[in-house]
Structure 1
């Protein structure tokens, strides 16, 4: 095993205002929580969008501004990514993969079914360079009910199940060269690595190569959202442990990022000058944090199509 890596401290830059707290709400596993924030993504003007899953809400935080309600709708939005055309794509636990026009706020369903059945509950998504979408269909899967999936939707709308029988697939990222797919498997406290056997956009008979555990984590609840930089280093939000980790492309721990609020670190995204700023959401306190990373991130691979 490796020794402990260096540690840096994140700084809280915003907290979900109390006027947006909703007491006594019931929404499945988020029962009675006044909010559960997740899914940060950054637009090209630097506006940070993040979700409140049980509230069906997406908030915005402009640089130097305050948290504002962007949209509220009948859904359970989780992970988000910004498309190159400016639309906000959302992995919605209730509605599937949807896209929201930031100007009109119209909601378009991208996919809500695969293999002749409804999606089980999307959690997070990422884009390939050609516009294909990879997303986790987590549902209520866990180590005893390992029915989670990873699904790809091509830019032409073709769907394929890439991985099945996963105990709670969560965040996911592609390597910069798009040869590998990394999946956070929360209930086994691990990151899986799958070789992609063909370039994104094709529907092969065997969608991925031999899949295995890439990083075995411990403590807390397990890995949640992830981001990757131009060198292939992976940032992993470790929910329940109050930190995020930076791992090298060969799985060596490089850095621990301790948070300034709460243990429920839910997701991460790169942004800021030279994409060296890591934005972090903490679901239990509603905190948005940042940390200046010692290695550059890369906007393309962390949150855009």
Structure 2
């Protein structure tokens, strides 16, 4: 249920994946997720490191890019499906659908595994990752779960190697983000068109997980999430071509309209200035920007 209609914010072009880097060919990822159609790219996971460098991934072709203006540099290219990115202490943490959690050194492209299995059992397919201030990694194991199989998982990997399974009943857990105080985690459940919220405890017990926000039903549900300094939640919504701006009480106040470029805003992140939202729009293969007004 909506309150007042969300006020529109226009998205503008930040940068477009150059034609020379587009690869319009069939892939195993496109066969499983896009009906086998040739996909020249599918951008996801925009993130900034501590130095202000912008990175994103191309899932079907296993690439991680550094983007500066119109210049796109391939930091890594490998046999994987990178989906989520997070910056941590001079490295990028990659949530890879095929290989689990990986570490990427953006200086030379070197990659190494962080966590490939759980008790020797492979993941269903990781989607996104976020770094907690205590150094732990929170990540979603989405695979092909959905309303037909609500068994997607959310994990926490502690710095000492302990692994918590926080949720195991998610209908397609996708993007995730911490609130500003890092006391609560929000997780996009794509196929139920919901964002869940729950408190993080020192142990692995989760109580009273709550439906914090629901996007309008459609061909796809919420994808990547971001939070700003005012604890406002940004919910990327492919299908509708919007990024919903949600206040700390769960009320949608604005919407970033991406439909001039495409209907697949897959993820978003705040730029270092704290005001500019950077969005991966995967239908057009572009990164978009939107200036977010103060509350």
TM-score interval (norm. to shorter): over 0.9
Q: Which residue of 2 aligns with 1:281?
A: 280
Q: Which residue of 1 aligns with 2:52?
A: 46
The Cα offsets for residues 18-50 of structure 1, whole Å up to 9 and x where unpaired, read as 122222222232533121110001123332111
Indicate whether 1:36 and 2:37 are aligned.
no
- Compute the displacement of 1:119 (Å): 1.1
The Cα offsets for residues 238-265 of structure 1, whole Å up to 9 and x where unpaired, read as 1111110110111011211111410001
Which among 162, 165, 179 is matched to residue 166 of structure 2? Answer: 162
Indicate whether 1:266 and 2:263 are aligned.
no
Q: Which residue of 2 aligns with 1:300?
A: none
Q: Which residue of 1 aligns with 2:124?
A: 120
- Compute the displacement of 1:278 (Å): 0.5
Contact 1:219-1:241 at 8 Å conserved across structures: no
Which among 73, 76, 81 is matched to residue 81 of structure 2? Answer: 76
Aligned to 2:26, the other structure's residue is in SS state: coil
Q: Which runs of 5+ in 1 are unaligned?
A: 297-305
- Compute the displacement of 1:218 (Å): 0.8
Aligned to 2:222, the other structure's residue is in SS state: strand
The Cα offsets for residues 74-96 of structure 1, whole Å up to 9 and x where unpaired, read as 1100010111x220111000010
The number of residue pairs the alignment matches comes to 287
Q: Distance in 1 between matches of 2:293 and 2:51?
A: 23
Aligned to 1:22, the other structure's residue is in SS state: coil
Q: Normalising by the residue count of structure 1, what TM-score does the alignment of the two structures yield?
A: 0.90
Q: Which runs of 5+ in 2 are unaligned?
A: none
Q: Which residue of 2 aligns with 1:187?
A: 191
Q: Distance in 2 between matches of 1:278 and 1:121?
A: 27
Q: Which residue of 2 aligns with 1:218?
A: 216
Q: Which residue of 2 aligns with 1:302?
A: none
Q: Which residue of 2 aligns with 1:12?
A: 13
Aligned to 2:51, the other structure's residue is in SS state: coil
Shift in alpha-carbon separation, 1:240–1:102, aligned structure 2, 3 A: same
Contact 1:147-1:166 at 8 Å conserved across structures: yes
The Cα offsets for residues 80-116 of structure 1, whole Å up to 9 and x where unpaired, read as 0111x22011100001010101112211111111244
Q: Which residue of 2 aligns with 1:129?
A: 133
> Cα RMSD between the aligned structures?
1.5
Q: Which residue of 2 aligns with 1:256?
A: 255
Q: Distance in 1 between matches of 2:4 and 2:272?
A: 30
Which among 176, 180, 191 is matched to residue 176 of structure 1? Answer: 180
Q: Normalising by the residue count of structure 2, what TM-score does the alignment of the two structures yield?
A: 0.93
Q: Distance in 1 between matches of 2:214 and 2:272?
A: 30
